[in-house]
Amino acid sequence: MGLKDTKVYIAGHRGMVGAAIWRRLEKEGYQQLIGMSSSELDLRNQADVMDFFEQVRPAIVLDAAARVGGILANNDYPYQFLMENLQIQNNLIDAAFKHDVSKFIFLGSSCIYPKLAKQPLKEEYLLTSALESTNEWYAIAKIAGVKSCEAIKKQYQKDYLALMPTNLYGPYDNFDLKTSHVLPAMIRKFHEAKLNGHLPVKLWGSGKPMREFLHVDDLAAAVQFAMEGNFQESLYNVGTGKDLTIKDLAITIQKIVGHKGDLVWDVQKPDGTPRKLLDVSKIKDEGWKASIDLEDGIAETYEWFKDHIDQLKEVRIS
């Protein structure tokens, strides 16, 4: 049986990342993709996850399931961001290990690295100094997932690895202004301001921090590449290797959306980490690099947003 005929379970297949991986693998000819909605399988419930693995027996697991959000959501719901992410990933990793899953790919976030680490961020900078306080709850959970995969690889020589993407964007992103990340929030703000007579747009912070952005379809390509390859390490950064200021991002999105009003920066709001550029040399050495240009990706995402704005649900954390 070839790899494309094996059972591949994509946890979180309805989220932005999971949906992109599903689209990618389906297009590439994978025949046995498995996905369960949160109503069908609560990944926070250990017994239910164990039962699922016992019944389905996937050969490969791609973990794109997580409770996610921006600075505001992380600040307001620290316990949920820590505990629910720990529950989800621990249940998946342990069930995969106990049911002899041959390959497990854990997806994290660049926020696992220290706030003031030297740039660009190398994988070995993990746990060398303090995290950014506004999202340390999510970061601590993700670090635990990275270390769980590393421990299984070290102790049992299983092919468990973690991919750490930079800031992601693309179709099926979260555009809720209360819980979204910076890029989709800007798309929505500029779009609504344009529709309302090009009103001024107020944005958080100074605009000086620098950020790197990766289209979710590029991440999906990296996941497939890692899944089909034989990576020697347990942790790899995934990004473009290029960044820009939040102010430049705002100007770029404003131009793409066609908003003609003023930009106002609320400097009383936190900036977050000053810079988060990933060193992507390790995955580049394995043979993979990003291919989607940022402006092209934002333009495509804006078109998707306009096509789906009526169906977008407001995300709430209870």
Annotated binding residues for NADP(+): 12-18, 107-110, 142, 165-168, 181
Per the annotation, binding residues for substrate are: 189, 204, 211, 271
Residues 6+ apart with CB under 8 A from 23: 217, 220
Residue 187: alpha-carbon gap to chain centroid: 18
Mapped onto helix, strand or coil, the DSSP state of residue 62 is strand
Instruction: Answer yes or no: are the C-beta atoms of 183 and 298 closer than 8 Å.
Output: yes
Per the annotation, binding residues are: 12-18, 107-110, 142, 165-168, 181, 189, 204, 211, 271
Mapped onto helix, strand or coil, the DSSP state of residue 38 is coil
Our answer to whether residue 138 is catalytic in this structure is yes
Q: Which helix (H) or strand (E) holds 184?
A: helix 182-195
Strand order in the sheet with 32-34: 32-34, 7-11, 60-63, 103-107, 159-165, 235-238
Catalytic residue among 138, 160, 169, 172: 138
Exposed/middle/buried for 55, CB within 10 Å: 0-12, 13-18, 19+? exposed
Mapped onto helix, strand or coil, the DSSP state of residue 129 is coil
Residues 6+ apart with CB under 8 A from 90: 46, 144, 145, 148
Question: How many CB atoms within 10 Å of residue 111?
Answer: 23
Residue 287 tokens read as: 């043979």
Question: How many CB atoms within 10 Å of residue 205?
Answer: 18
What residues are labeled active site? 138
